[in-house]
C-alpha cells in the first residue's frame, strides 16, 4: 500500500516527511495535558491540591496548547500545501500520460471510468495525503509511545491494554475487507453512473427528438439506484463491526480498572500507577476510535491507488526517435492489416503510396475504413501488421507528439473546446498573432460570422461547440488547420455540412491550403475529388480500385458506376427543382 503511494508520488514523497514529523511532535505536546491531569488527580487523591499547583498545571497546559497551536498550524498548512502540490502533479502526470496512450485505451475504458480516475481517485489521494496519513502516523506514534511507557511502568497491566488491541484488530481487518470487496463494486457502479449521466446530458437533444427522455431517464434512475443500494449495503455491513470495534475500544478503561484494582488489592501496584493507567487508557481509547475513521479512508485509498497505478502502467505508444526532421512527407502503407479492440479486422492488406505534395482521395461506402486510414496516419492506433512510413521513416519509430506537429486534421466530428473562439483557433498554432488568425478565418469563410457575434473572437463556445452550427464548427476547424499549416493534411468530409455558397468558398481556401502538402481527403461527393492525384476506392476494408479519376473512369468499374449514380441523382434533383 505505502509502496503504491510511493510509486505514484515518486520523489514528491519527501515533501511529506517534514509535516508528518511535525504532527508527531504535536502528539508529544498532547501527552503533557494527560500528565497534568494525572498530577491533578494525584493532588486530589492525597489532598495536596493548592492554588499554586493549579496555577502551575494551568500554565503548563497553556504553554502546551500554544506550542501545539504553532506546531499544528505549521504542520497542517504544510500537509495541505504539499498534499495539494503532490496530487496536483499527479493529476498533470496522469493527464499527460493519457495523452500519450493509443486511442484504443479510451475505446476500451468507459468515460465514467476515466473521469472517475482523474477526479474521484485523485481526490481520495488528496484527502488521505492532506488529512489521514499524517493523522494515522501521529496516532500510531502516540499510541506506541503510551504503550511502551506503560510497559516500563508495569508490564502486567500493560498487557490488559494489548488484549483490547488484539481483539479490535480483526474488526479493523474485517472492515477493511468489506471496503475492498464492496468498494470495487461501488466503484464500477459509480463509473457506470457517471457514463450514464454524461450520455444523458450529451444525448438529451436526440432523446427529446425521439421522445425517449423518459426511457433514458429511467436508465439514469436505475443507475443512481444501484449506487444508492451498494452504498447503503456497505454502510449496513460495516455498522456491526464498527459498533463492536467502538465497544471493545471503549472497554479498555473498565478492563484496566478491573484488572488494575485486582492488582492494587493484591499489592501488585500502587494507586498512583492505577490512576496513570486509567488516564492513559482513556487517551488510547480516544485515539483508537478516530484511528478507525482514518483507517477506512486509507483502505478506500488503496482501491484508488491501485486504479491510478493501473492507469499509469498502461504503456504509451512506443517510439525510438525523440525528435526528428523529415524532408519528405510522402506516406506509404505496406500490407497494413488493422482491427480495433474488438478484434474484427477492418482494414485488410492495404498498400498504397501517397507521394510528397500529392492529393489522395479516399472514397467508399460508409464503414469501408476511410476514417480508419486517416486515424492510422496520425498514429491514433497502431497497425496489427504491415508498415506505415512517412518520408521513408517507420511511423512507429517517430515520437507521436512530433509526428502530430506535422499533421493538420479536420475530422468528421469537430469537437470544440469550451474556450473562446480565438482560443479554439489558436489550438492550431498558439504563437500566431491576431493578423494570422484573421487571415486564416477569412480563408475558411468564418471571419464574418465570428465578427458578427456580440463578443466576436472572445465569444465563449459552449462545451463541445454546442452553441455553434455544424457548418460553423467545421469552418472553425478548417481555420485551425489553416493556421497550423502542417505538411500533411487529413480532411475527413470537411465540406459535408456547408451550404453551396460556403462550400465553393471553402473549396477555394482548401485548394490554397492543400498546395505543396501531402493531402488525404475523404469526401462523399465525387465531383470534389476529380482533380486528386489518386483515388482509393475502399470497400469493406479492401482497396477495390486505385488510380486517377480518368484511369478509374476508363476502367468502368465500381468508381465509374458510383460517379454515374451521383450524376443521375443530381439530374433528378435539378429536374424536380
Ligand atoms: N473506435 C472504433 N472502435 C471500434 N470499431 C470502429 C471504431 N471506429 C470505426 N470502427 C469500425 O471500423 C469500420 C470502419 O470504420 P470507418 O470509420 O473507418 O468507416 P468510414 O469509411 O470512415 O465510414 P463513414 O463514411 O461512415 O465515415 C466500421 O466497421 C466501424 O464500425
Ligand atoms: Mg468516416
Asked whether residue 292 falls in the same domain as residue 214, the answer is yes
Which among 193, 278, 271, 286 has a CA at the least distance from the CA of 231?
A: 193
Asked whether residue 491 falls in the same domain as residue 461, the answer is no
What does the alpha-carbon distance between residue 541 and residue 154 come to, in Å, rounded to a whole number? 82
Would you say the CB of residue 370 lies under 6 angstroms from ligand 1? Answer: yes
Question: 49: domain CATH number?
Answer: 1.20.1560.10
Nearest CA to ligand 1 atom 7: 340
Report CA(196)–ligand 1 centroid distance (Å). 23
In this structure, is the dihedral angle defined by the CA atoms of residues 553, 554, 559 and 561, taken in order, positive or negative?
A: positive
What does the alpha-carbon distance between residue 286 and residue 289 come to, in Å, rounded to a whole number? 5
- 261 sits in which H/E element: helix 252-265
Report CA(492)–ligand 2 centroid distance (Å). 7
Domain of 447, in residue numbers: 414-485
Asked whether residue 112 falls in the same domain as residue 258, the answer is yes
Cell 503510551 maps to which residue? Answer: 146
Report CA(176)–ligand 2 centroid distance (Å). 49
**Cβ 515 vs Cβ 359: under 8 Å:** no
CA 204 vs. chain centroid, Å, equals 24
Q: Which residues of 15-143 form beta strands (DSSP E)?
A: none
Would you say the CB of residue 368 lies under 6 angstroms from ligand 1? Answer: yes
**Cβ 552 vs Cβ 537: under 8 Å:** yes
Which among 326, 316, 321 has a CA at the least distance from the CA of 486?
A: 326
Residues 6+ apart with CB under 8 A from 56: none
Asked whether residue 76 falls in the same domain as residue 139, the answer is yes
What does the alpha-carbon distance between residue 139 and residue 516 come to, in Å, rounded to a whole number? 69
Atom from ligand 1 closest to the CA of residue 368: 21
CA 402 vs. chain centroid, Å, equals 24
Nearest CA to ligand 1 atom 30: 367
Would you say the CB of residue 340 lies under 6 angstroms from ligand 1? Answer: yes
Would you say the CB of residue 346 lies under 6 angstroms from ligand 1? Answer: yes
Nearest CA to ligand 1 atom 25: 366
Q: Which of 285, 313, 341 is the last residue of a domain?
A: 313
What does the alpha-carbon distance between residue 216 and residue 193 come to, in Å, rounded to a whole number? 12
Asked whether residue 393 falls in the same domain as residue 431, the answer is no
Q: How many CB atoms lie within 10 A of CB 66?
A: 11
Atom from ligand 1 closest to the CA of residue 538: 21
Nearest CA to ligand 1 atom 13: 367
Question: 573: domain CATH number?
Answer: 3.40.50.300
Nearest CA to ligand 1 atom 2: 340
Asked whether residue 281 falls in the same domain as residue 307, the answer is yes
- 467 sits in which H/E element: none
**Cβ 528 vs Cβ 541: under 8 Å:** no
Asked whether residue 8 falls in the same domain as residue 39, the answer is yes
- This prediction has a pTM of 0.71
Q: From first to last of the 577 residues of the chain, give the pLDDT tens digit.
A: 667 777 777 777 777 778 778 877 877 777 888 888 889 988 998 888 899 989 999 999 999 889 888 887 888 788 888 888 888 888 888 888 888 887 777 767 777 788 888 888 888 888 887 777 777 888 888 888 888 888 888 888 888 888 888 888 888 888 777 777 787 888 888 888 888 888 787 777 777 766 666 667 788 888 888 889 988 888 888 888 888 888 888 888 999 999 999 999 998 889 989 998 998 898 889 888 888 878 877 777 777 888 888 888 888 878 777 777 788 899 999 999 999 877 789 999 999 999 998 999 999 888 899 989 998 998 888 899 999 999 888 998 888 888 888 898 887 676 778 788 898 888 888 888 899 899 888 888 888 888 888 888 888 887 666 667 777 888 888 888 888 888 999 888 755 556 666 667 667 767 777 778 899 998 766 666 888 899 999 999 999 999 989 998 898 888 888 888 877 766 665 555 5
Q: Which of 369, 373, 539, 543 to mutate to test the pocket of ligand 1 (most atoms within 8 A of CB)?
A: 369
Cell 515518486 maps to which residue? Answer: 10
As for how many domains the chain has, the answer is 3
Return the C-alpha torsion angle 100, 101, 107, 112, nearest 10: -70
Report CA(60)–ligand 1 centroid distance (Å). 75
Asked whether residue 351 falls in the same domain as residue 455, the answer is no
User: Residue 275: helix, strand or coil by DSSP?
Assistant: helix
Asked whether residue 431 falls in the same domain as residue 515, the answer is no
Ligand number with the minimum distance to the CA of 375:
1
Report CA(212)–ligand 2 centroid distance (Å). 27
Distance from the first to the final alpha carbon of the chain: 72
Length reported for the chain: 577
Q: Which of 274, 291, 313 is the last residue of a domain?
A: 313
Report CA(381)–ligand 2 centroid distance (Å). 15
**Cβ 353 vs Cβ 332: under 8 Å:** yes
Amino acid at each position: 500500500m505505502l509502496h503504491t503511494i510511493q510509486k505514484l508520488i515518486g520523489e514528491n514523497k519527501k515533501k511529506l516527511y517534514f509535516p508528518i514529523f511535525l504532527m508527531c511532535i504535536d502528539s508529544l505536546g498532547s501527552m503533557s495535558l494527560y500528565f497534568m491531569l494525572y498530577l491533578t488527580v494525584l493532588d486530589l487523591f492525597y489532598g495536596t491540591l493548592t492554588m499554586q499547583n493549579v496555577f502551575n498545571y494551568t500554565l503548563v497546559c497553556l504553554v502546551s496548547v500554544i506550542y501545539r497551536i504553532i506546531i499544528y498550524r505549521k504542520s497542517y498548512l504544510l500537509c495541505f500545501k504539499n498534499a495539494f502540490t503532490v496530487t496536483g502533479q499527479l493529476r498533470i502526470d496522469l493527464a499527460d500520460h493519457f495523452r500519450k496512450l493509443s486511442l484504443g485505451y479510451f475505446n476500451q475504458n468507459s468515460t465514467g471510468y476515466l473521469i472517475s480516475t482523474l477526479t474521484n481517485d485523485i481526490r481520495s489521494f488528496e484527502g488521505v495525503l492532506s488529512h489521514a496519513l499524517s493523522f494515522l502516523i501521529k496516532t500510531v506514534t502516540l499510541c506506541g509511545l503510551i504503550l511502551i511507557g506503560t510497559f516500563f511502568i508495569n508490564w502486567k497491566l500493560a498487557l490488559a491494554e494489548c488484549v483490547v488491541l488484539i481483539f479490535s484488530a480483526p474488526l479493523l481487518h474485517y472492515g477493511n475487507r468489506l471496503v475492498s470487496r464492496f468498494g470495487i463494486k461501488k466503484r464500477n457502479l459509480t463509473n457506470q453512473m457517471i457514463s450514464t449521466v454524461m450520455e444523458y446530458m450529451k444525448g438529451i437533444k436526440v432523446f427529446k427528438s425521439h421522445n425517449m427522455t423518459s426511457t433514458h431517464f429511467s436508465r439514469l434512475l436505475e443507475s443512481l439506484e444501484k449506487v444508492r443500494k451498494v452504498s447503503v449495503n456497505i454502510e449496513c455491513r460495516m455498522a456491526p463491526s464498527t459498533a463492536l470495534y467502538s465497544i471493545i475500544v471503549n472497554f479498555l478503561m473498565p478492563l484496566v480498572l478491573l484488572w488494575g484494582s485486582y492488582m492494587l488489592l493484591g499489592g501488585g501496584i500502587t494507586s498512583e500507577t492505577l490512576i496513570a493507567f486509567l488516564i492513559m487508557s482513556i487517551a488510547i481509547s480516544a485515539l483508537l476510535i478516530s484511528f478507525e475513521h482514518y483507517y477506512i479512508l486509507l483502505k478506500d485509498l488503496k482501491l484508488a491507488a491501485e486504479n491510478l497505478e493501473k492507469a499509469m502502467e498502461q504503456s504509451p505508444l512506443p517510439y525510438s526517435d525523440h525528435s526528428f526532421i523529415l524532408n519528405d512527407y510522402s506516406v506509404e502503407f505496406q500490407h497494413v492489416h488493422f482491427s480495433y479492440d474488438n478484434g474484427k479486422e477492418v482494414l485488410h492488406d492495404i498498400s498504397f503510396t501517397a507521394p510528397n505534395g500529392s492529393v489522395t482521395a479516399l472514397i467508399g461506402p460508409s464503414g469501408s475504413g476511410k476514417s480508419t486510414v486517416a486515424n492510422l496516419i496520425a498514429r491514433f492506433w497502431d497497425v496489427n501488421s504491415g508498415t506505415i512510413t512517412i518520408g521513408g521513416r517507420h511511423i512507429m519509430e517517430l515520437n507521436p507528439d512530433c509526428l502530430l506537429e506535422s499533421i493538420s486534421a479536420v475530422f468528421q466530428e469537430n469537437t470544440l473546446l469550451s474556450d473562446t473562439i480565438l482560443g479554439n483557433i489558436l489550438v492550431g498554432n498558439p504563437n500566431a498573432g491576431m493578423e494570422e488568425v484573421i487571415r486564416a478565418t477569412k480563408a475558411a469563410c468564418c471571419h464574418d460570422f465570428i465578427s458578427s457575434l456580440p463578443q466576436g473572437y472572445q465569444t465563449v463556445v459552449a462545451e463541445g461547440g454546442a452553441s455553434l452550427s455544424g457548418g460553423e464548427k467545421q469552418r472553425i476547424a478548417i481555420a485551425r488547420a489553416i493556421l497550423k499549416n502542417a505538411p500533411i493534411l487529413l480532411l475527413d468530409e470537411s465540406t459535408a455540412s456547408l451550404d453551396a455558397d460556403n462550400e465553393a468558398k471553402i473549396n477555394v481556401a482548401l485548394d490554397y491550403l492543400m498546395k505543396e502538402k501531402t493531402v488525404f481527403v475523404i469526401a462523399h461527393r465525387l465531383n470534389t475529388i476529380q482533380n486528386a492525384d489518386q483515388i482509393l476506392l475502399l470497400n469493406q476494408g479492401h482497396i477495390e480500385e486505385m488510380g486517377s479519376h480518368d484511369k478509374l473512369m476508363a476502367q468502368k468499374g465500381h468508381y465509374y458506376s458510383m460517379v454515374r449514380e451521383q450524376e443521375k441523382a443530381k439530374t433528378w434533383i435539378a429536374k424536380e427543382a
